[in-house]
Structure 1
Amino acid sequence: MRERLARLISNILNPFVVSFIIIVLLAFQDTSSTPEALKWALISLAISVIPVFIIVTFLVHSKKLDGFFANPRQQRNIVYLLASVLGAIDCGLMWYLNAPDLLAVAFTAGLAAIVVFTGINYFWKISLHAAFLAASVTVVTIVYGVIVIWTLVLLPLVAWARIELKQHSLAQVVTGGLLAAAMVSGVFWVYGVIG
C-alpha cells in the first residue's frame, strides 16, 4: 500500500506535469488575454517540456534509460545534457521572442538550475521531483502570494514518495528542493520580480 501510494504521488507530481502546470499558470498570469496566454503556453511547452518528454520516451523504449524516473545516476547524464542544451536554446528563444517576463525569467531560472544539476549529477544523484516541485512552489508563491502557501504541503509528500520508492535519500530530496528554491528566488530577485 505504501509503495503504491508513493508511486501515485511520484507519478502525479513528476517534473513533466509540474512543468506543464507552472508554464500554463505563468502564461495566464503575465498576458492580457486568453488567446495570448494560450499562444505563450503552447510555444513554451513546444520548446521545453514536449521535446524532452519525447526524447526520454525514446530513450526508455530503446533501453538507454531504465525508466522515466527510475534510473541509475549515470543514465541521467544524457538527459541532463540534453535538457541543458534545450534549456539554453529555450531561454534564448524566450528572450528573443519577447515572451512575457514571468515566463522568460522562469526559463532563465530553469536553465541556471539544470546546468548546476548537470554538474552535480556527475558525482551525486539529486531529486528532480523535489527540485521541480520546490521551484514551482517558490514561483507560485512569488507570483500569487500567501494564497498558495498550501502548496508547501506537496513538498514533504514528494520527498517521502521518492525516498519510499528508494530512488533518493533524504539528503538528495532536501538538497534538490532547497537548491532549486534558492536558485529560482535568486534569479527572480536579479530580474526584479521580487525584492
Structure 2
Amino acid sequence: MAGTRGARIVTEVFAPAVLAAAMPIVVGLHAGPTWWRGLGWGLLTVFFSAVVPYAVIRVFMRLGRIEGDHHIGDRRQRRLPLLFAMLSVLLGVVALWLLGAPREVVAIGAVMLAVLAGTGLVNAVWWKLSAHTAVAAGSAAVLVLLFGPVLLVTAPVVGAIAWSRVRLRDHTTAQVLAGIVLGAVLAPAVWLPLA
C-alpha cells in the first residue's frame, strides 16, 4: 500500500501539466535578459502550454467527455483534449516568436509541441504510450542541454516516474520505455536547431 501511495505522489508531482508549467519558467529565467523579463516570457509560455490545456481537460471532465481523473486513462478519450492542447501550444509558440521572445523560450515551446504531438499521434493511432515519461524524458534532455551534464542527475527522476506509472497499472513497462525514448529523442532534435 505504501508503494502505491508513493507511486501516486510521484505521478502527481511530475505530471505532464506540472512539468509543462515548470520548464518554461526555468528556461525563461535562464534566457531572459533580466530575471523579471525571463519570468514574464516563462509565464506567457505556461499560459499556452499548461493553463489552457489543463483547463480544457477540466471542462471535458465536467461535461462528462472524460471519465476518471485528469490523467485521462482511456486513450480514446485523449484525442480531443490533445488536439486542443496542441493548438494552444502552437498558438503560444507563434505568439512567442512574433513578440520577440528569447530563442530558448521559443525552443521550449516548440519542444513541448513536438513531444505532445508525438505522444498524441501514437496514442490516437496505435497505443497508450506514456505521456508522463515522454514529457519527463524530454524535460530532462532539455535541462542537460541547457545546464550541462551535471543535470544528468534528473535521469533517476525519469526512472521513478516510469516506475510509478507501471506500479499504478496505468501503463506497461513497454509503454513507459517508449515514452522515454520518444521524449529523449524528440526534445533534443527540436531544441538544438532552435535554441
SS state of the match for residue 45, structure 2? helix
In the TM superposition, residue 144 of structure 1 has moved relative to its aligned partner by: 0.4
Structure 1 match to 2:16: 15
Structure 2 match to 1:124: 127
Aligned residue-pair number: 192
1:39-85 Cα shifts (integer Å, max 9, x gaps):
11221112221111111112223322121114211011112111121
SS state of the match for residue 48, structure 1? helix
Separation (CA, whole Å) in 2 of partners of 1:167 and 1:69: 9
In the TM superposition, residue 116 of structure 1 has moved relative to its aligned partner by: 2.2
> Runs of at least 4 residues of structure 1 off by over 4 A?
none
Structure 1 match to 2:102: 100
Structure 1 match to 2:33: 32
In 2, are the aligned partners of 1:105 and 1:188 still within 8 Å (CA)?
yes
In the TM superposition, residue 86 of structure 1 has moved relative to its aligned partner by: 1.4
In 2, are the aligned partners of 1:125 and 1:168 still within 8 Å (CA)?
yes
Q: How does 1:42-191 map to 2 (within 5 A)?
A: 42-65=43-66, 66-122=68-124, 123-191=126-194
Range moving further from structure 2, 129-138 or 62-71: 62-71
Q: Classify 1:14/1:136 alpha carbon distance in 2 versus 1 (closer, same or farther; 3 Å).
A: same
For structure 2, the 5+ residue unaligned runs are: none
In 2, are the aligned partners of 1:70 and 1:167 still within 8 Å (CA)?
no
Separation (CA, whole Å) in 1 of partners of 2:148 and 2:21: 20
Output the aligned Cα RMSD: 1.3
Percent of residue pairs bearing the same amino acid type: 22
TM-score, normalization: structure 2? 0.93
TM-score, normalization: structure 1? 0.93
Separation (CA, whole Å) in 2 of partners of 1:38 and 1:114: 23
